[in-house]
C-alpha cells in the first residue's frame, strides 16, 4: 500500500509499502522504512532553527580564532628568535601571544555544551516511542540514555541537511546566513595556511 508521509520541509510525499512484520525492528514511525528526517532534529518554529545556525557559526569560528592565535604566536616567536610553548595544563605559563588559542578552545567547549542543551528537549520528545526501562538502576540509566540520544541529535544538527532545513524555515534570513558558510570556509583555510607558515618560520629561526 502507499501513503503520504511528510518530508524534511513538512511537505506530503508518497511512500512505498509498509515493512513486513519480520522487519518491524528496522522501521521508523508508522512502520515505514527507517530514514533520517532532518526536520526531526529541529524543534517546530523558527526560534530553534535560528539558534542552531547562530551556534553553528560560533562553533565554526573556533578554527580561524585558533589559527589566528597560532599565527600571532608564531610571528611573536619569530621576532624574538625563540619558540613559545603552550602548556594548557598550567594557564599561568601561557604567553600573551597564544591567548587566542585558549580563547578558541574555551569557545569550542562552551558551544558544544550549549548545543547539547538545545538538543536535550529533542531527546525527551522522542522518548515516548521507546519502551520503559525496568531493570536495576533504571533511574540513572534513563538519564544516560537521554544524554546519549541528545548527543546523537547534537551531532545530527551539525549536518548540512539539517542546517538546510533551518535555513529554509528562516526564509531570507536563512539564505543570508547560508551565504556566510563559504566565507567562513575561506577564512578558516586562509588562517590555517598563515598559521602553518608562521610556525615554520618561527621554528626555523629558533634553530639558528
pLDDT tens, position by position, 5-58: 445 454 444 444 444 444 444 454 555 555 778 888 898 889 999 999 999 999
Between 80-89, 129-138, 172-181, the lowest mean confidence (pLDDT) is in 80-89
DSSP state at residue 74: H
What is the mean pLDDT of the segment spanning 87-100?
58
Place 183 in a pLDDT band, splitting at 50, 70 and 90: very high
Query: What is the predicted pLDDT for the residue at 106?
Result: 93
Distance of alpha carbon 191 from alpha carbon 170, whole angstroms: 30
* CA-based nearest residue to 76, from 56, 106, 99, 45: 99
Q: Any idea where the domains of the chain sit in the sequence?
A: 1-35, 43-206
- The size of the chain, in residues, is 208
- List the grid coordinates of 181: 558558510
What is the mean pLDDT of the segment spanning 149-159?
92
Between 7-11, 120-124, 193-197, the lowest mean confidence (pLDDT) is in 7-11
What is the mean pLDDT of the segment spanning 139-156?
85
Assess whether pLDDT exceeds 90 at residue 61.
yes
DSSP state at residue 93: G
Look at residue 35 and give its three-state secondary structure. coil
Global pTM exceeds 0.85: no
Amino acid at each position: 500500500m502507499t501513503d503520504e508521509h511528510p518530508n524534511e520541509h513538512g511537505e506530503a510525499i508518497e511512500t512505498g509499502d509498509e515493512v513486513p512484520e519480520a522487519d518491524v525492528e528496522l522501521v521508523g514511525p508508522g512502520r515505514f522504512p527507517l530514514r533520517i528526517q532532518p526536520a526531526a532534529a529541529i524543534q517546530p518554529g523558527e526560534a530553534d532553527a535560528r539558534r542552531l545556525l547562530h551556534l553553528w557559526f560560533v562553533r565554526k569560528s573556533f578554527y580561524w580564532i585558533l589559527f589566528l592565535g597560532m599565527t600571532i604566536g608564531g610571528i611573536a616567536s619569530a621576532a624574538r628568535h625563540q619558540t613559545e610553548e603552550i602548556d594548557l595544563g598550567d594557564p599561568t605559563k601561557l604567553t600573551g601571544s597564544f591567548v587566542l588559542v585558549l580563547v578558541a578552545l574555551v569557545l569550542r567547549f562552551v558551544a558544544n555544551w550549549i548545543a547539547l542543551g538545545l538538543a536535550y528537549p529533542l531527546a525527551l520528545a522522542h522518548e515516548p516511542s521507546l519502551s520503559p526501562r525496568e531493570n536495576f538502576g533504571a533511574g540513572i540509566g534513563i538519564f544516560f540514555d537521554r544524554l546519549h540520544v541528545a548527543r546523537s541529535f547534537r551531532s545530527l544538527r551539525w549536518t548540512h541537511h539539517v542546517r538546510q532545513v533551518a535555513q529554509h524555515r528562516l526564509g531570507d534570513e536563512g539564505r543570508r546566513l547560508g551565504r556566510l558558510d563559504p566565507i567562513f570556509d575561506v577564512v578558516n583555510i586562509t588562517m590555517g595556511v598563515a598559521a602553518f607558515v608562521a610556525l615554520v618560520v618561527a621554528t626555523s629561526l629558533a634553530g639558528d
